[in-house]
Amino acid sequence: MNNGRKISGAKYHSFRKTKLYERAGQERNVTLGETKRKVERVRGGNTKVTMLKSEVVNVIVNGKAKKAQIVNVVETPQNKFYARENRLMKSAIIDTSLGRARITNRPSQEGCVNAILLEEKSSK
């Protein structure tokens, strides 16, 4: 509305520049593919593992965790076009070797993909 101006029309001037830790980081899009991670330095000299690509998921089946291969991304509630790009994000529904599952964590923040099994594949 005011485009950074006072009611008199004068400009607002910032009293300092943005600090490095206040700047937005690069957006990390986790996609389906051969597993690839990146270790970043964050505030306080700590490290954060971000995931860039993944082909493996930790699926919870009856309270037990099992590793499964990701086949495809079926749907993403954030944006239907993300499923076409095979983006892995929280609450996305994926096809795995065990059946359909819903991602329960944020892979770009944690460095792994966790999911809960929705329906098992029927073996014929």
Burial of 96 from C-beta contacts in 10 A (0-12 / 13-18 / 19+)? buried
| pLDDT at 3 exceeding the cut of 90 | no
Let me know if 103 is exposed, middle or buried by CB neighbors in 10 A (0-12, 13-18, 19+): buried
* Domain assignment present for 44: yes
Indicate whether 34 belongs to any domain.
Answer: yes
- 94 CB-contact burial (10 Å; exposed 0-12 / middle 13-18 / buried 19+): buried
Residue 43's pLDDT is 85
What is the tens place of the pLDDT at every residue in 12-36? 888 999 988 888 888 889 999 999 9
Residue 62 lies in a domain: yes
Closest CA to 100 of 119, 72, 80, 124: 119
Predicted local confidence at residue 56, as pLDDT: 96
Given a contact cutoff of 8 angstroms between Cβ atoms, the answer to whether 88 and 78 are in contact is no
pTM above 0.85, yes or no: no
* Number of independent structural domains in the chain: 1
Strands 114-120 and 56-61, bridge-based pairing: parallel
- How far apart are the C-alpha atoms of 69 and 77, rounded to whole Å? 22
pLDDT tens, position by position, 45-54? 999 899 999 9
Helix (H, G, I), strand (E, B) or coil at 31: strand
Could you tell me if 58 and 104 are in contact, meaning their C-beta atoms sit under 8 angstroms apart? no
Specify the CATH number for the domain of residue 91.
3.10.290.70
For residue 19, being part of any structural domain is answered with: no
Residue 45, domain extent: 27-120
